[in-house]
Amino acid sequence: MQNKADMIGKPIEAPEIEEPTPLGAAVLAGIGVGLYKDVQDAYDKIYKPGKIYKPNPELTNKYPQWSKTFEEIYPSLKDLNTQLYSLLDRPELLYLLKKTISV
């Protein structure tokens, strides 16, 4: 989350709950059975503030240049990445690649 805040230059609040998807389903079910009158009512009753990630201005200012650099090198690396990914289907070659890189 910190990386996202740094990239967009805005604070990001992460929910306190680790798995918000089941909570969303439960909220919709609660609305369906009349426990909550609408989404806003459910939000008002169950919302708990989470951690707020504040952007690091120094990093936020660097992301545009980093992005430009990645955009420039991507075409050169695209085919190589495809070749490396294809090794995942051949464990023996992936093993040799890992062994070579670790030397």
In terms of domains, do 96 and 48 share one?
Answer: no
Distances (CA, A) of 70 to 1, 34, 35, 77: 21, 50, 49, 10
In terms of domains, do 64 and 35 share one?
Answer: no
3-state secondary structure of 97: helix
What residue numbers bound the domain in which 77 lies? 56-103
pLDDT digits (tens, 9 = 90+) for 6-40: 999 999 998 888 788 898 999 999 999 999 999 99
Give yes or no for a contact between 61 and 8, defined as CB atoms under 8 angstroms apart. Answer: no
In terms of domains, do 72 and 87 share one?
Answer: yes
pLDDT digits (tens, 9 = 90+) for 53-84: 999 999 999 999 999 999 999 998 888 888 87
The span from the CA of 62 to the CA of 59, in Å, is: 5
